[in-house]
Amino acid sequence: MSKTKKDAIAIHVNGVGKYFGSEPNLVKALDNVSIDIRRNEFFTLLGPSGCGKTTLLRLIAGFESPTFGQMLLDNQDITNLPPYHRSVNTVFQSYALFPHLTVAENISFGLEMLKKPKHEISATVDEMLALVHMEELKHRRTDQISGGQQQRVALARALAPKPDVLLLDEPLSALDYKLRRGMQIELKRLQLETGITFIFVTHDQEEALTMSDRIAVMSNGHILQVGTPNEIYYNPQERFVADFIGESNFIEAEVVSVTKGRSATASLRLAGTRKTFKANMPASKSKDKTATVFIRPEHAKLQKSTRGATLTGTLTNMLFFGTDTNYHLELDNGDAFVVRSQNEIGHAFHPAIGDKLGVVIDEQAIQVLKD
Amino acid sequence: MLNRLFWKKREFSVTYQFGFATIALICFFALYAPISTLVFYSFNAGNNLMLWEGFSFQWYVEASKNELVQEAAIRSLIIAVCASLISTLVATMAALGTTRTAPFKGQKLIFIMINQPLMVPEIVTAVALLIFFAIIKTFTNYYGLGYLITAHAAFCVPFAYLPIKARLDGMDLSMETAAGDLYATPFVVFRRITLPLLWPGILAGAMLSFVISLDDVIITEFVKTAGQDTLPTYMLGQLRRVITPEINAISSVLLAVSLVVVTIFFLFTRKRY
Ligand SMILES: Nc1ncnc2c1ncn2[C@@H]1O[C@H](COP(=O)(O)OP(=O)(O)OP(=O)(O)O)[C@@H](O)[C@H]1O
Ligand SMILES: [Mg+2]
């Protein structure tokens, strides 16, 4: 695939909304959502339960039509196209396998509907069975295989017609941790091998970070931020995004001054401390006197003495995670703050609960949020 | 005592309580004792319903030789087969229309209207049909079996409807959605997915309406014209004359037919999905 083709837009969602019900009980499942999903991209929709992820997938698949807005697939308007005319396949949250058909018959269903020649169908079915490692269970009925196997059949069934776009609605949520890990790697491999655009839904932030090319964080029928896992993790724009992905500390800061340049920079003073920091200021906040600052627990360092520390506080709790330990502090102004540090062998630093400790924060670790 | 005998290992079951097994046994006795007696005396050699005079197939032979019984039996079968086919077709369409669409205004009303005949006393329906068909008869001069078939088909619809609707309610819509997603047009989805999955429900509906039609007395009695006796109305007529164990024999055969139908149904629907 050429470079230009790879960067081309596969799905273009333009100002789409989906409302259910009518006035007193109106549900705005999606409200004015716009995204561009590139071809051959592993795109993840991430958000809490009820935020509209499934609704967006159903609109793209064509099971539902939007209340307003427009959708394009490869520059062709598909807003009112029925699902059987869209080159889009879905892996359903509930798998929705056909229980009266065998594994092979399930996989060949889409190909038969596309009226592919017989030999091509059987070749593709075998190829798909090999892809998901299900060759032995070819002739088994789908209600006689395990949940993990059903999931793989659902995947093979949706992949077999080689659609332009594959939609996956929390396909791994029913699997145990080990199997889930394996499937994550397999899914990623499949996406790279087939060159199909994947739109993947999950509410597991770790899964989203490890698998995606880009992530859209959703809340309440809106898309809050779209970006690479790195951008989403290190530069969340809003408190919700920062809070939903990983662990975060939020601290109120006083804006001392703002210097206008190509991007506005602010001098900040954290939670009643004296030292000032420089950080990028979102354009919308350039006139504000206070701001919320966000710091990842692993970007702060704990030290025994309070001298030279950015913040000081009392240790209230320690949570051991194997590789890391979370130190919960109560800052001098009463706010809570968490520091995460890696456990090292022979580490001499063993604070006890109730100790007065110092926290050192690097200037680069400080990020000002939009809200 | 009995409890220990029957449910030794299910200590945490709610049925493991004093008296459950006894009551169950009494219920079974009340259900099956009369039927067993009926079947038992159909093999009586004498012509008394209550006095056992030895074993014989005499009454079965007698009944099968009786031309009136033969005709009534054939008529019963024709009516039951036609009525169950028609009512199952209608009920299938009604069930699809009331479950496979988005909820619409008046859906409840339609549901109630389909099932209402179950609530209306049968005798009322019978009188209504009698009058209604009498009018039609004077206009068309047609006096055939059509009236009985129509009447049976009509009152069988709700019986056929219930198992089909139950099956559809239990059938996740996501299967049909998935088929549509895999490029199947709505008609193909129906033929390849909905119908095969619905089949046990349709079969249950057909069998149920077949059995219901087979043993109907009241409506048949009102709607039939002279010489259109079905097996049940023939038996009813016999009661007004001398009763012999021939009645028992006919009843036993009817019972056997019902049992066969039920067994076939179980064999067909044993695959669970
Ligand atoms: N058919 C419907 N009628 C009314 N409301 C609906 C309908 N479908 C979805 N909703 C509502 O729209 C909102 C978004 O639902 P959606 O299924 O898209 O959430 P989701 O993000 O997929 O959640 P989950 O993670 O739990 O699957 C919810 O508030 C839901 O109650
Ligand atoms: Mg969902």
Query: In terms of C-beta density within 10 A (0-12 exposed, 13-18 middle, 19 or more buried), how is residue A49 classed?
Result: exposed
Measuring from atom 5 of ligand 1, which residue has the nearest CA? A20
Given this model, what pLDDT does residue B264 score?
A: 82
Q: Using CA atoms, how far apart are residues A44 and A193, in angstroms rounded to an integer?
A: 18
How do A214-219 and A197-202 pair as beta strands? Answer: unpaired
Radius of gyration of chain B (CA): 23
For residue B134, count other CB atoms closer than 10 A to its CB.
11
Question: For residue B3, is pLDDT > 60?
Answer: no
Q: Using the Cα atoms of residue A343, residue A346, residue A347 and residue A348 in order, give the sign of their dihedral.
A: positive
B53 inside domain: no
Residue contacts between A and B (CB atoms, under 8 Å): 60
The total domain count for chain B is 2
Strand partners, A165: A88, A197
A148-162, B199-213, B254-268, range with the lowest pLDDT: B254-268
From ligand 1's centre to the CA of A49, what distance in Å?
Answer: 8
Given this model, what pLDDT does residue B9 score?
A: 54
Q: Using the Cα atoms of residue A296, residue A297, residue A299 and residue A304 in order, give the sign of their dihedral.
A: positive
Residues 172 to 211 of B: which have CB under 8 A from any A CB? 172, 174-175, 177-185, 188, 192-193, 196-197
Look at A71 and B54; give whichever has higher pLDDT: A71
B27 inside domain: yes
Ordered structural domains, chain A, with CATH? 3-242 (3.40.50.300), 247-368 (2.40.50.140)
Q: Using CA atoms, how far apart are residues A200 and A43, in angstroms rounded to an integer?
A: 6
Residues of chain A with Cβ-Cβ distance to B182 below 8 Å are: 84, 89, 109-110, 113, 157-158, 161
Look at A124 and A288; give whichever has higher pLDDT: A124
How confident is the model over A331-356, as a mean pLDDT? 83
Decide if A217 contacts A223 (C-beta within 8 A): yes
How do residues B128-143 score in pLDDT, each as one tens digit? 999 999 999 888 888 8
Question: For residue B94, is pLDDT > 60?
Answer: yes
| Closest residue by Cα to residue A168 from A152, A144, A145, A189 | A152
Question: Is the CB of A152 inside a 6 Å radius of any atom of ligand 1?
Answer: no
Both B238 and B155 in one domain: the answer is yes
Given this model, what pLDDT does residue A53 score?
A: 93
For A326, A340, A362, B167, the CA distances from A298, given in Å and listed in that order, are 9, 5, 11, 55
Both B146 and B36 in one domain: the answer is no
From ligand 2's centre to the CA of B101, what distance in Å?
Answer: 21
Question: For residue B206, is pLDDT > 80?
Answer: yes
DSSP tag of B238: H
Residues of chain B with Cβ-Cβ distance to A141 below 8 Å are: 273
Both B117 and B37 in one domain: the answer is no
Both B66 and B197 in one domain: the answer is yes
Given this model, what pLDDT does residue A2 score?
A: 41
Question: Is the CB of A55 inside a 6 Å radius of any atom of ligand 1?
Answer: yes
Which residues are near ligand 2, the ion (C-beta closer than 5 Å)? A 54
How do residues A242-290 score in pLDDT, each as one tens digit? 988 888 888 888 888 787 766 677 778 777 677 778 787 777 776 777 8
For residue A84, count other CB atoms closer than 10 A to its CB.
19
How do residues B222-231 score in pLDDT, each as one tens digit? 988 888 889 9
Structural domain containing residue B174: 61-269
Both B26 and B150 in one domain: the answer is no
Both B113 and B20 in one domain: the answer is no
Question: For residue B112, is pLDDT > 70?
Answer: yes
Q: Which two structure tokens, joined as six digits, stand for A367?
A: 């990020």
Given this model, what pLDDT does residue A320 score?
A: 87
Q: Using CA atoms, how far apart are residues A302 and A323, in angstroms rounded to an integer?
A: 16
Both B109 and B25 in one domain: the answer is no
Taking the Cβ of residue B17 and every Cβ of chain A, the question of whether any pair is shorter than 8 Å is answered with no
Q: Virtual CA dihedral for B210, B216, B220, B222, nearest 10 degrees?
A: -150
Question: For residue A109, is pLDDT > 90?
Answer: yes
Q: Virtual CA dihedral for B230, B232, B235, B236, nearest 10 degrees?
A: -110
| Closest residue by Cα to residue A170 from A24, A44, A33 | A44
A56-70, B85-99, B251-265, range with the lowest pLDDT: B251-265
- Residue A250: in which H helix or E strand, if any? strand A249-259
Decide if B110 contacts B95 (C-beta within 8 A): no
Q: Using CA atoms, how far apart are residues A146 and A157, in angstroms rounded to an integer?
A: 16
**pLDDT band at A3, cuts 50/70/90?**
very low
Q: Using CA atoms, how far apart are residues A151 and B272, in angstroms rounded to an integer?
A: 20
Question: For residue B271, is pLDDT > 60?
Answer: no
Span between the terminal Cα atoms of chain A, in Å: 41
Query: Could you tell me what percent of chain A has a pLDDT over 70?
Result: 96
DSSP tag of B215: T
Measuring from atom 20 of ligand 1, which residue has the nearest CA? A50
B2 inside domain: no
Amino acid at A174: A
**pLDDT band at B269, cuts 50/70/90?**
low
Question: For residue B6, is pLDDT > 80?
Answer: no
Both B148 and B19 in one domain: the answer is no
Ordered DSSP codes for A158-199 = HHTT--SEEEEESTTTTS-HHHHHHHHHHHHHHHHHH--EEE
Q: Which two structure tokens, joined as six digits, stand for B36?
A: 């067993």
Given this model, what pLDDT does residue B15 score?
A: 62
Which residue on chain A is closest to B186 by alpha carbon?
A84
Look at A2 and B263; give whichever has higher pLDDT: B263
Question: For residue B268, is pLDDT > 80?
Answer: no
Both B241 and B125 in one domain: the answer is yes
Given this model, what pLDDT does residue B1 score?
A: 47
Both B189 and B86 in one domain: the answer is yes
Q: Using CA atoms, how far apart are residues B165 and B183, in angstroms rounded to an integer?
A: 27
DSSP tag of A237: S
Measuring from atom 10 of ligand 1, which residue has the nearest CA? A29
How confident is the model over A44-51, as a mean pLDDT? 92
Residues of chain A with Cβ-Cβ distance to B175 below 8 Å are: 96, 98-99
Given this model, what pLDDT does residue A262 score?
A: 64
Phi-psi bin for B19: left (phi > 0), alpha (psi -120 to 50), beta? left
B122 inside domain: yes
Given this model, what pLDDT does residue A348 score?
A: 67
Question: Is the CB of A225 inside a 6 Å radius of any atom of ligand 1?
Answer: no
Radius of gyration of chain A (CA): 25
How do A300-303 and A356-361 pair as beta strands? Answer: antiparallel
Given this model, what pLDDT does residue B193 score?
A: 92
Q: Using CA atoms, how far apart are residues B196 and B269, in angstroms rounded to an integer?
A: 12
Look at A287 and A3; give whichever has higher pLDDT: A287
Average pLDDT of chain A is 87
**pLDDT band at B210, cuts 50/70/90?**
very high
Q: Using CA atoms, how far apart are residues A337 and A351, in angstroms rounded to an integer?
A: 16
Question: For residue A237, is pLDDT > 50?
Answer: yes
How do A197-202 and A165-169 pair as beta strands? Answer: parallel
User: Best substitution site from A46, A54, A199, A222 to test ligand 1's pocket, by max atoms within 8 Å of Cβ?
Assistant: A54
Instruction: Select from B172, B176, B182 the residue whose CB has the most chain A CBs within 10 Å, as the one to mutate to test that interface.
Output: B182
B126 inside domain: yes
How do residues B71-83 score in pLDDT, each as one tens digit? 999 999 999 999 9
Both B33 and B85 in one domain: the answer is no
For residue A165, report the phi and psi dihedrals to the nearest 5 degrees.
-130, 135
B112 inside domain: yes
- Residue A280: in which H helix or E strand, if any? strand A276-280
B87 inside domain: yes
Strand partners, A329: A315, A337
**pLDDT band at A4, cuts 50/70/90?**
very low
How do A42-46 and A214-219 pair as beta strands? Answer: parallel
From ligand 1's centre to the CA of A25, what distance in Å?
Answer: 14
**pLDDT band at A46, cuts 50/70/90?**
very high
Q: Using CA atoms, how far apart are residues A6 and A279, in angstroms rounded to an integer?
A: 35
Domain of residue B193, CATH code: 1.10.3720.10
Three-class secondary structure of residue B38 per DSSP: helix
For A49, A147, B227, the CA distances from B178, given in Å and listed in that order, are 22, 18, 55
The shortest C-alpha distance from A216 to chain B (Å) reads 24
Both B17 and B68 in one domain: the answer is no
CB contact under 8 A, A84 and B196: no
Question: For residue B163, is pLDDT > 80?
Answer: yes
B79 inside domain: yes
How confident is the model over B136-156, as a mean pLDDT? 88
Look at B8 and B193; give whichever has higher pLDDT: B193
Given this model, what pLDDT does residue A214 score?
A: 95
How confident is the model over B42-46, as a mean pLDDT? 85
Q: Using CA atoms, how far apart are residues B63 and B65, in angstroms rounded to an integer?
A: 5
Amino acid at B254: L
Average pLDDT of chain B is 85
